[in-house]
Amino acid sequence: GDQRLKRVNKAETTCGFCAVGCRFDLYGKDDEVLGTRPADPDATPANGYSTCVKGKFGYDFANSDERLETPLIKEDGEFREASWDEALSRVVEELSETRETYGQDSLAVFSSSKATNEENFLMQKFARQVLGTKNIDNCTRLCHSSTVAALKQTMGYGAMSNRIKDVGNADCYLITGSNTTESHPVLATKLKQNVRDGADLFVFEPRRIELAEHADQFTRTAGGHDIAWINGMIRHIIENDLHDEAFIEERTKGFEDVEEKVQSFTPEKVEELTNVSPDELANAAETIAEADSCVFGWAMGVSQHTYGTQTVLALADLALVTGHVGKPNAGVSPFRGQNNVQGGGGDMGTIPDNLPGYQDVTDDDVLDQFEEEWGVRPPDEPGLRVTEVFDEVDEGNVRGMYIIGENPAISEPDVTNARESLQELDFLVVQDIFVTETAEYADVILPAATFTEKYGTVTNTERRVQLVRPAVEPPGSARADWKILQDLARRMDFDWQYDSPTDIMDEVNELTPIYGGITHDRLEENGDGLQWPCPDEDHPGTPYLYENEFNFEDGKARFVPADLGDPTELPNEEFPIALTSGRVLYHWHTGQLTRRSEGLMGHVGESYAEIHPQTAGQIGVADDEYVKVESKRGSIVVRAKVTERTAPGKIFIPMHFAEGAVNELTQEKLDPVSRIPDYKMASVRVSSMGPD
């Protein structure tokens, strides 16, 4: 017994699935994860003792036999094992040759929101300093880039303004475009408890999601014109003198523009466009305006549209009109997806227009500082965004790619196109823990470590930076991303000398003002992490943003009127049904982690389409039978789930599966501001395949 116990490691760490950032103790032996237990409650600010099914049981992936254990090189269309030395030499040779022949901007890097902050800092440094390319981006482009764009314009930071603890104490909630109980389970539990204790919950959604069952008012929206009901609410609030005049006067500017813009959003127009009745609109608007505090929560249902930025502008205007920002228990809460999409996907500068800490790539003072530290001036213009890279591949302008922990062969809209582009590249290196659908296209695959195997920090949806610690060893010769990057940089004649992630964090502290005081020493001391902005070592961190000022020179928030966007694809005779996609509780993103878990697959083992009974009747399909779903772009076969969760004439398909991949059907139409794709709107036809 003692012998065995000695070899068991316990690591107090942060969950690697979603951005709620639950903490727990992870147990492991050698390279095998054994399980989790609740951690010291002082070290679990987001979750206390709770975790969801993924955080608790979702570790088969880490122990899987399919984990990559050695580098692979493709030869005559087949992968063969290679040594690190051979694989890295090949990568250096190919990337250098492409750069010499076609210039540095013929290279593009996708960084990973699953890797740590320290590793993402190095990914953008590798792109900008070592390769000299301006093209660095990541999956945040596909999820909340529209949110970030709108919140930066109106309030100054592209982030959740409040903290999870306070979300559990609000008087009122407006939740839209978020299937919170399945996508952010532990956060949703806090919300539901508070609603049980008397808080008001308004859910505006096209689908009758589980959260709707807890709502004081569930309003089934038509989808496609969310800006109309939000602007309509603002109109109702102003008309009834329920707006927060003192707040508007002291803390904002541009109110008149919004006041004018919303005039045309009469209750009749709102109902016509969105199905929201005048009574429901008035009831929600009045309750929100009169509440002491309100949390505005949203996710992909809002952000993933060509008018995603406009919808978030409308939500920000609503929060400002009612004064529910910059005080405890209130605020704007975009629920982020990946465990580290806030930190690794944005804060660390892995985006084409910002250096770490959202510092503009065109700001000379900022560039001077990085040049002094790095000996190389970073590119001084914005690079290509994820959704633009593949077009440039097709044009022959991007020739080589380095993709770290991302799976665009499943996650891009209209994936058939993306796969063709991957095929066209002169050189592709993929760094991951499995041979993903994307890695199949690679010339070289480098085996990486996952969060159970490494040390560093991740930043959750409430801007809280927390430690991850290893409980097990990576399998075979797999290595942490930061070590692989350092090895490559050295081989390309850059003298990187990081002995540990702590050395990298020292550089982050120096170059990233909002992370100035977030050191590993402090995080080791206080288990409950630090929320940015935290400019220096004496600063306690910032539980909620905008207490005294918004993040602009004059400290005032900006009202920006939101324009009604046009739906990009409406059902027609040929494709009469509206398709939307989303998450389910038991799975994660492109499914690489959760599709390898027997327990989770036992709950939901394959892709499916939710179809309303009335629509199922019209098509002639029974529950559990297979259907063919076709759009202009592709066709898949999935099981029908006949349910009233979805509305008549609409179907829902989860996004986690490679067989029956919903992105074979989605369209590549982009929001003009953020370049986020319109995943949430496509028209399809559905036909029965008959019983099995």
Q: Which residue is nearest to ligand SF4 (CB)?
A: 55
The residue within the footprint of ligand SF4, chosen from 45, 55, 337, 541 (CB under 6 A), is 55
Residue 344 CB, shortest distance to ligand SF4, in Å, is 15
Torsion sign (Cα): 66, 71, 76, 77: positive
Q: Does 54 bind ligand SF4 (CB under 6 A)?
A: yes
Q: Which stretch binds ligand SF4 (CB under 6 A): 49-57, 113-121, 255-263, 360-368?
A: 49-57
Q: Which amino acid is at 373?
A: E
Would you say 47 or 329 has its CB closer to ligand SF4? 47
Q: Does 20 bind ligand SF4 (CB under 6 A)?
A: yes
Residue 571 CB, shortest distance to ligand SF4, in Å, is 34
Would you say 18 or 222 has its CB closer to ligand SF4? 18
Would you say 523 or 689 has its CB closer to ligand SF4? 523
The span from the CA of 6 to the CA of 403, in Å, is 38
Parallel/antiparallel/unpaired status of strands 626-630 and 635-642: antiparallel
Would you say 179 or 519 has its CB closer to ligand SF4? 179
Would you say 51 or 646 has its CB closer to ligand SF4? 51
The strand pairing partners of 28, in sequence order, are 9, 33
The residue within the footprint of ligand SF4, chosen from 11, 15, 609, 638 (CB under 6 A), is 15
Q: Which stretch binds ligand SF4 (CB under 6 A): 15-23, 411-419, 604-612, 619-627?
A: 15-23
The residue within the footprint of ligand SF4, chosen from 11, 22, 355, 504 (CB under 6 A), is 22
CB-side neighbour CA atoms (13 Å) of 211:
35
Token pair 């987001």 in the structure block, residue: 46
As a whole number of Å, the CA-based R_g of the chain is 24
**What are the backbone dihedrals phi and psi of residue 677, each rounded to the nearest 5 degrees, phi first?**
-80, 155
Peptide bond between residue 533 and the one before it cis (omega within 30 degrees of 0) = yes
Q: Does 33 bind ligand SF4 (CB under 6 A)?
A: no
Q: Which stretch binds ligand SF4 (CB under 6 A): 50-58, 228-236, 238-246, 439-447?
A: 50-58
The strand pairing partners of 638, in sequence order, are 627
Residue 506 CB, shortest distance to ligand SF4, in Å, is 28
Q: Which stretch binds ligand SF4 (CB under 6 A): 45-53, 74-82, 248-256, 517-525?
A: 45-53
The span from the CA of 52 to the CA of 128, in Å, is 38
Would you say 185 or 206 has its CB closer to ligand SF4? 185
Residue 464 CB, shortest distance to ligand SF4, in Å, is 12
The span from the CA of 462 to the CA of 464, in Å, is 5
Residue 15 CB, shortest distance to ligand SF4, in Å, is 3
Mask: binding to ligand SF4, 167-196, rule CB under 6 A, as x and -?
------------------xx----------
Residue 214 CB, shortest distance to ligand SF4, in Å, is 17
As a residue count, the chain comes to 692
Token pair 């969105």 in the structure block, residue: 274
Q: What is the DSSP letter of 361?
A: T
Q: Does 51 bind ligand SF4 (CB under 6 A)?
A: yes
Would you say 17 or 434 has its CB closer to ligand SF4? 17
**Cα angle 104-105-106, degrees, rounded to a multiple of 5:** 90
According to CB under 6 A, which residues from 258 to 317 bind ligand SF4? none
Would you say 52 or 130 has its CB closer to ligand SF4? 52
Token pair 């790619």 in the structure block, residue: 401
The strand pairing partners of 109, in sequence order, are 136, 402
**Residue 405: left (phi > 0), alpha (psi -120 to 50), or beta?**
left
Would you say 19 or 234 has its CB closer to ligand SF4? 19
DSSP string, 629-666: EE-SS-EEEEEEEE-TTSPTTEEEEES--STT-GGGT-
Residue 128 CB, shortest distance to ligand SF4, in Å, is 31
Would you say 498 or 588 has its CB closer to ligand SF4? 588
Q: Which stretch binds ligand SF4 (CB under 6 A): 14-22, 71-79, 502-510, 590-598?
A: 14-22
Using CB under 6 A, count the residues that bind ligand SF4.
13
Q: Does 18 bind ligand SF4 (CB under 6 A)?
A: yes
Would you say 60 or 506 has its CB closer to ligand SF4? 60
Helices H, strands E: what count in the chain? 26, 28
Residue 210 CB, shortest distance to ligand SF4, in Å, is 14
536, with CB counted inside 10 A (0-12, 13-18, 19+), is exposed
Would you say 175 or 351 has its CB closer to ligand SF4? 175
Judge contact between 341 and 181, C-beta under 8 A. Answer: no
DSSP string, 373-430: HHSSPPPSS----HHHHHHHHHTTS--EEEEES--HHHHSSSHHHHHHHHHH-SEEEE
Torsion sign (Cα): 534, 540, 542, 543: positive
Q: Which stretch binds ligand SF4 (CB under 6 A): 16-24, 92-100, 107-115, 549-557?
A: 16-24
The span from the CA of 377 to the CA of 104, in Å, is 14
**Cα angle 445-450-451, degrees, rounded to a multiple of 5:** 155
Residue 60 CB, shortest distance to ligand SF4, in Å, is 15
Residue 22 CB, shortest distance to ligand SF4, in Å, is 3
Would you say 181 or 421 has its CB closer to ligand SF4? 181
The residue within the footprint of ligand SF4, chosen from 11, 33, 43, 52 (CB under 6 A), is 52
Residue 460 CB, shortest distance to ligand SF4, in Å, is 8
Would you say 479 or 583 has its CB closer to ligand SF4? 583
Judge contact between 146 and 498, C-beta under 8 A. Answer: no
Q: Does 467 bind ligand SF4 (CB under 6 A)?
A: no
Q: Which stretch binds ligand SF4 (CB under 6 A): 12-20, 248-256, 511-519, 670-678?
A: 12-20
According to CB under 6 A, which residues from 656 to 675 bind ligand SF4? none
Which of 177, 207, 141 minimizes the C-alpha distance to 297?
177
Judge contact between 210 and 327, C-beta under 8 A. Answer: no
Judge contact between 647 and 220, C-beta under 8 A. Answer: yes
Distances (CA, A) of 232 to 193, 201, 204, 225: 30, 19, 13, 11
Binding site for ligand SF4 (CB under 6 A): 15, 17-18, 20-22, 47, 51-52, 54-55, 185-186
